[in-house]
């Protein structure tokens, strides 16, 4: 998707898969020099503390690599679980769906990297 | 249990007489404050007596939780349930079962004319049995009332957490009443569901109707805000009264970067501005 990478998680995440994703994504960001990453988790029904932390980590890593990260389409049950686990993913931007997430990325890309919150 | 007990036999032989005495007595004493008709009283008495006979037939006169008493238990549960719903008092419900003592004891007296010891033993057995049945009916009565209370609590909870749409992309959640963990859960779920359903990106949580905000309530509010943010919606807290603002600061509650406003109107204006809209006179 242009300068942005789009990751959709379609299956239930397990620990190995999450690590694999982290690996692949950082490789891809570095290889494509993407300026934004959008992770769509609308099909993710369940999270545990590990996956929650991985989401935060992945976002942090892409930020270090110079790409903005937006997590989109989080299910209510997932949001409640993360909050109850005390993982509010500070520093990760969120949007309701892919479309809004893209708009957010595009906007901050136009404003210059790490521009003010959308 | 006394093996020479005449109780089963007495009941079997005199069932219709006991029943007649019992019903007459209930009518005469105006049992249940006249809330029950004679026909119903007769029908219920007959059912209970025959259930007791059925239970007692097996020779087991002390353990009402035994399988042979299943139909008596079933009847009592049903009866207590109905009476609880019809607004009978617990006393009226228990008295119905207890009032069987008088007709039953007078029959026993006739059977044990010259046997004081046998009479005493049977009266004790019968008292124990009827007390147990009455207690059982009380328990069923209580259970029914508790079910009603639980249902009402749930209804109240659902009623008191409406999520309203103020404008395209703006939701409001007027909170009324105190906020505990159970309620926060319901509030959070309904808010998140509505965010998903309407695609709103701003939610205004109005706490005008929340009487006090302590650290716990503040934490619940922040949790709700954090969950909404994870879904991609911003929250504004409105309806902060002066006293509440004072408490929040005194308690050292950190509201973080959550926008707060004194009134819902202010919050709505902020929300509109964030969505690039303004209100203008026509």
Residues 6+ apart with CB under 8 A from B162: B173, B174
Counting one residue from chain A and one from chain B, the pairs whose CB atoms sit within 8 A come to 53
**How is residue B236 annotated by DSSP?**
E
pLDDT in tens, chain B (282 residues): 444 577 888 888 888 888 888 888 888 776 555 667 777 888 888 888 888 888 887 767 777 788 888 888 888 898 888 888 888 888 888 888 888 888 888 888 888 888 888 888 888 888 988 898 899 999 999 998 899 899 988 887 777 678 888 888 899 999 888 777 778 888 888 899 999 899 888 999 999 888 888 888 888 888 889 899 988 899 999 998 888 888 888 888 877 788 899 999 999 999 999 888 888 888
Calculate the average pLDDT of chain A.
Answer: 82
pLDDT of the residue at B268: 92
Q: How confident is the model at residue A2 (pLDDT cuts 50, 70, 90)?
A: low
What is the Cα–Cα distance from A49 to B152, expressed in whole angstroms? Answer: 36
Q: How far is CA B58 from the centre of its chain?
A: 36
pLDDT at A109 over 90: no
Task: Take residue B23 and report the two structure tokens written for it.
Answer: 């019903």
Q: Write out chain A residues lying below 8 Å of B201, CB-based.
A: 96, 100
What is the Cα–Cα distance from B214 to B179, expressed in whole angstroms? Answer: 10
pLDDT of the residue at A1: 53
CATH for A4-113, among 3.40.630.40, 3.40.50.880, 1.50.10.10, 3.30.750.24? 3.30.750.24
pLDDT of the residue at B49: 86
User: Are residues A83 and B226, on separate chains, in Cβ contact within 8 Å?
Assistant: yes
Q: What is the pTM of this model?
A: 0.62
Helix, strand, coil % over all residues of chain A, rounded to 5: 45, 15, 35
Task: Take residue A7 and report the two structure tokens written for it.
Answer: 């990751």
Angle at the Cα of B164 (from B159 to B206), degrees rounded to 5?
A: 85
ipTM, interface predicted TM-score of the complex: 0.79
Q: Taking a C-beta distance cutoff of 8 angstroms, is the pair B187, B235 a contact?
A: no
Domain ranges across chain A: 4-113
Summarised one tens digit per residue, pLDDT across range A22-70 is: 888 888 888 888 888 898 988 888 888 888 888 888 888 888 888 888 8
Residues 6+ apart with CB under 8 A from B212: B178, B244, B247
Interface of A with B in 59-88 (CB under 8 A): 71-72, 74-76, 78-80, 82-84, 88
Interface of B with A (CB under 8 A): 185, 188-189, 192-193, 195-196, 199, 201, 223, 226-233
What is the Cα–Cα distance from B187 to B182, expressed in whole angstroms? Answer: 9
User: Are residues B230 and A94, on separate chains, in Cβ contact within 8 Å?
Assistant: yes
Distances (CA, A) of B64 to B54, B57, B58: 12, 13, 12
Place of tokens 């409001």: B172
pLDDT of the residue at A114: 47
pLDDT of the residue at B235: 92
What is the Cα–Cα distance from B116 to B124, expressed in whole angstroms? Answer: 12
What is the Cα–Cα distance from B277 to B270, expressed in whole angstroms? Answer: 10
């Amino acid at each position: 998707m242009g300068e942005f990478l789009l990751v959709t998680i379609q299956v239930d995440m397990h620990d190995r898969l999450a690590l694999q994703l982290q690996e692949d994504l950082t490789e891809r960001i570095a290889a494509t020099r993407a300026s934004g990453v959008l992770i769509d988790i609308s099909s993710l029904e369940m999270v545990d503390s590990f996956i929650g932390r991985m989401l935060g980590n992945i976002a942090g890593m892409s930020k270090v690599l110079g790409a903005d990260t937006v997590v989109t389409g989080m299910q209510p049950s997932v949001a409640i679980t993360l909050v109850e686990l005390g993982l509010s993913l500070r520093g990760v931007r969120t949007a309701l769906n892919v479309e809004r997430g893209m708009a957010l990325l595009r906007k901050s890309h136009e404003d210059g990297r790490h521009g003010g919150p959308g | 249990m006394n093996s020479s007990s005449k109780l089963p036999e007495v009941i079997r032989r005199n069932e219709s007489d006991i029943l007649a005495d019992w019903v007459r007595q209930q009518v005469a004493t105006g049992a249940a404050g006249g809330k029950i008709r004679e026909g119903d009283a007769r029908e219920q008495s007959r059912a209970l007596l025959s259930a007791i006979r059925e239970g007692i037939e097996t020779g087991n006169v002390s353990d009402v939780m035994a399988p042979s008493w299943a139909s008596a238990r079933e009847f009592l549960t049903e009866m207590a349930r109905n009476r609880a719903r019809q607004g009978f008092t617990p006393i009226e419900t228990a008295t119905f079962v207890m009032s069987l003592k008088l007709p039953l004891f007078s029959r026993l007296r006739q059977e044990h004319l010259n046997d004081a010891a046998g009479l005493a033993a049977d009266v004790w057995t019968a008292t124990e049995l009827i007390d147990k049945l009455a207690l059982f009916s009380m328990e069923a009565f209580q259970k029914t009332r508790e079910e009603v209370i639980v249902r009402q609590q749930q209804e109240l909870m659902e009623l008191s957490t409406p999520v309203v749409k103020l404008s395209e992309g703006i939701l409001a959640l007027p909170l009324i009443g105190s906020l505990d963990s159970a309620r926060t859960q319901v509030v959070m779920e309904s808010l998140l569901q509505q965010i998903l359903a309407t695609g709103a990106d701003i939610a205004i949580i109005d706490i005008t109707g929340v009487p006090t905000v302590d650290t716990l309530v503040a934490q619940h509010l922040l949790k709700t805000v954090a969950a909404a943010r994870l879904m991609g919606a911003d929250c504004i807290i409105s309806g902060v009264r002066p006293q509440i603002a004072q408490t929040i600061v005194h308690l050292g509650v950190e509201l973080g970067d959550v926008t707060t406003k004194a009134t819902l109107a202010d919050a709505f204006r902020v929300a509109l501005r964030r969505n690039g809209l303004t209100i203008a006179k026509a």
